[in-house]
Amino acid sequence: MLTSYTGELVRIRPFADSDEFADLNVALNPEDRFWGQSWWPLQRIREGFDKHAMLDSELWFSFLAIDRLDTAELIGYEVVQLPRPGMITAEIGTGILRRHWHRGFGREAKRLAIRLLFDNFPLAAITATTLAHHRRAVAGILAIGMRYEGAIRCSAFSNGRWAHKAKYVIFREEWERLTARTAEGH
């Protein structure tokens, strides 16, 4: 299984001890005004990292590091869901430190994660979930070719109110058509 993918702007790869995953997790949290405070105690995150290095089929979500290619900085994580029993879809998600926003790093990291999952597993589709009112996240998901699949009503609490989560999907054949077109464009 390939675990590192390199694009034009970023690379995704497994986390190493030296990356201080727990600190990154905490650093990302207060920058998100949509999902609220959600990080666990540092000790618990570190214990989780020591056990699985955040990449294991036992985990509901695994995490890969996102590095900028131009500065070699660790700028966030890409969430990848390894296949679960019976399921032929898997989910991705992205967290980027605020100072690296708006430069296309997150979108490329998502594309690399989709490639990683389709290359390595017999999956029919990749999905993504965000809050339905989180327009920046929605824009990023749509920009990589995913389409809206539906809403899970009142399934999150965000800024003092119940919020819907929105689900997005891209099927393998859609992804292959998209990447073939992109390759032709180049």
Partner 1 sequence: METAIETTERGFATGRHVVLRPVLETDLPELARLMAENPYNHEQVPWTYHRLKKRFEDKEKPGLWDREDKTYAVVRRRGGIAGYITENTSDNQMYWCTLHIGSGISDRDALGTDLAAAYLAYKERWHHPRRISFALLLLEDQKAGWLTAAGFEQELVFERSYFHSGRATSLAYYTWCADWALAMRAERHPVPGEEDPRRGA
Q: Work out whether 170 is an interface residue with partner 1 (CB under 8 A).
A: no
> Per-residue contact track with partner 1, 122 to 141, x per CB under 8 A?
--xx-x----xx-xx-xxxx
Q: Work out whether 163 is an interface residue with partner 1 (CB under 8 A).
A: yes
Of residues 27 and 34, the one with the C-beta less far from partner 1:
34
Q: Work out whether 36 is an interface residue with partner 1 (CB under 8 A).
A: no
Site for partner 1 in 67-86 (CB under 8 A): 84-86
Q: Work out whether 29 is an interface residue with partner 1 (CB under 8 A).
A: no
Query: How distant is the alpha carbon of residue 175 from its chain centre?
Result: 17
Q: Which of 30, 36, 41, 150 binds partner 1 (CB under 8 A)?
A: 150
Of residues 16 and 152, the one with the C-beta less far from partner 1:
152
Nearest 10 degrees: Cα torsion 16, 18, 22, 24: -100
Q: Got the DSSP string for 33-77? A: TTT-S-PPPHHHHHHHHHHHTT--TTSSSEEEEEEETTT--EEEE
* Strand ranges across the sheet with 62-68: 5-6, 10-14, 62-68, 74-80, 89-96, 125-131, 161-171, 147-158
Q: Which residues bind partner 1 (CB under 8 A)?
A: 84-89, 124-125, 127, 132-133, 135-136, 138-143, 148-155, 159-164, 166-167, 169, 171
